[in-house]
Amino acid sequence: MERDVSKLNSGHSGVAPSEIAVGVIVGRASEYFDYFVYGIASVLVFPGVFFPFEEPLEGTLYSFVVFALAFIARPIGTIVFFNIERRWGRGVKLTSALFMLGFATAGIAFLPGYESIGPWAIVLLSVLRCFQGFGLGGSWDGLPSLLALHAPPKRHGWYAMIPQLGAPIGFIIAAGLFLYLYTELTPADFMDWGWRYPFYVAFTINVVALFARLRIVVTEEYEQLLDKYQLHPVEKVSELLDTSGGSVVIGAFAALASYALFHLVTVFPLSWLIVHSAQAIDDILIVQIFGGVLALFGVMASGWIADRIGRRSTLGIMAALIGVFAALSPLMLGGQVIHQNIFILVGFALLGLSYGQSAGAATGNLEAKYRYTGAALTSDLAWLIGAAFAPLVAIGLSSHFGLVALSGYLLSGVVCTLLALRINRSLNKD
């Protein structure tokens, strides 16, 4: 496959920033489509298919435990695939990682439920979920870092937000597909086979995205740019952690409020309203799709704002606004349908504005030779700390202690972000 793509690129005369941007958006959108297909299914489907022996709340909690496994496996996959990249090249790494991700996602579509094979269904789901995270860890191709380094003066915020567009695009497509299947099929057909279709689609999208990224990644011009900016994995991750581990941790915590909010407006509201509200599932999905559109525009707006006031200031202001949103969350989510919808829409808007500048906000503290590996591990750590257990903790605490626990959880992320940004500012680096 890599040789075929190389032939297609014969005579390719340079890699333009616009090509890099397209490759980044396509790649990220495909990854987030996989991501949200699983996330939505973990609410609508998996409690009934894999945990039918539990009540809806407990089944959802178990489903979210399996959901978190991918984020635990992701940094391990990053390190393993970096070794593959050093030995066999970036194209081999990217191809094998995305095929692992695609096959794991498609494999979930073929899984029998608990009623067919008992606990083995949960074991197989957990294994495939780990493979998803492992493969996603290997999908780092350096395109976002390269795009950021190509940013013109005073345009760093705009270029930084481009990779983040993949999240709302992936969510809109995934939620739209589930909405169509849920409304067009009978409940029995949806739970029997309808939910499996998005997992088939995810594999196809992954293949298309793979070729779109390989078209850039395997070119000689791309390799020359990577050499120029020293965007290669380090020989030993321990060396990075020994010399710049603090910067990796600061970078992860600087985006914590955004990453925590990520699941608290996408996966959590769907689970909470299904368990504790009478609002129809299709109505919730429709509102969330509109929210995804707001997030899309919010991501773009974040680039414009950051280029005028700075990325750190943007993250700080958005973290403060997320704190206000967290304080008001019990009133909105615990109120009438209109208030619940406002929670979703406002949350998505804030997510776009904050998430648009969350990646690489502190990786400027890293030496050039550590930036490629450091950016990947910073992202992995941010997802693990901020997002992996967010829906599990949020619905667990809120169900037992009320929605005020949701406020406390989200506010803790806001505090961590503000502290990390303060420390990063003291380093006097961007």
The pLDDT value given to residue 239: 86
Write out pLDDT tens, residues 44-103.
999 999 999 999 999 999 999 999 999 999 999 999 999 999 988 888 998 899 889 888
Q: Is 369 a residue whose pLDDT tops 70?
A: yes
- Mean pLDDT for the stretch of residues 365-375: 83
**Mapping DSSP to helix (H, G, I), strand (E, B) and coil, where does residue 427 land?**
coil
Cβ atoms of 132 and 199 within 8 Å: the answer is no
- Mean pLDDT for the stretch of residues 223-252: 85
The pLDDT value given to residue 362: 58
Can you say whether the dihedral through the CA atoms of 6, 9, 10, 13 is positive or negative? negative
Q: Where are the alpha helices (DSSP H) in 45-165?
A: 46-50, 56-88, 90-109, 114-117, 119-137, 143-149, 156-161
**Cα 338 to Cα 328: distance, rounded to the nearest angstrom:** 14
Q: Is 307 a residue whose pLDDT tops 50?
A: yes
DSSP 199-223: HHHHHHHHHHHHHHHHHHHTSHHHH
- Mean pLDDT for the stretch of residues 257-272: 92
Enclosing H/E stretch for 307: helix 281-309
Of 321 and 279, the one with more pLDDT: 321
Write out pLDDT tens, residues 181-192.
999 999 999 999
The pLDDT value given to residue 394: 93
Of 135 and 206, the one with more pLDDT: 135
Least-confidence region, from 5-9, 127-131, 142-146, 154-158: 5-9
Enclosing H/E stretch for 374: helix 368-382
The pLDDT value given to residue 5: 38
Cβ atoms of 230 and 369 within 8 Å: the answer is yes
The token duo for 140 is: 């780092």
Q: Is 193 a residue whose pLDDT tops 80?
A: yes
| Mean pLDDT, all residues of the chain | 88
**Cα 405 to Cα 410: distance, rounded to the nearest angstrom:** 9
**Cα 210 to Cα 231: distance, rounded to the nearest angstrom:** 20
The pLDDT value given to residue 230: 79
The pLDDT value given to residue 178: 97
The pLDDT value given to residue 49: 96
What's 430's DSSP letter?
-
Burial of 278 (0-12, 13-18, 19+ CB in 10 A): exposed
The pLDDT value given to residue 15: 60
The pLDDT value given to residue 427: 66
- Mean pLDDT for the stretch of residues 393-408: 93
Residue from 324, 380, 412 nearest 80 by CA:
380
CB burial string 131-144: b at 16+ within 10 A, e below: bbbbbbbbbbbbbb
The pTM assigned to this predicted structure is: 0.91
CB atoms within 10 A of CB 106: 19
Of 80 and 139, the one with more pLDDT: 80
What's 185's DSSP letter?
S
Q: What percentage of the chain carries pLDDT values higher than 70? A: 94
- Mean pLDDT for the stretch of residues 127-143: 89
Instruction: Output the furthest CA–CA distance in the chain (Å, rounded).
Output: 63
**Cα 169 to Cα 167: distance, rounded to the nearest angstrom:** 5
**Cα 303 to Cα 383: distance, rounded to the nearest angstrom:** 21
Of 403 and 244, the one with more pLDDT: 403
Write out pLDDT tens, residues 1-34.
444 434 434 444 456 667 778 878 888 898 899 8
The pLDDT value given to residue 11: 42
- Mean pLDDT for the stretch of residues 229-237: 84
The pLDDT value given to residue 323: 95
The token duo for 391 is: 């829906």
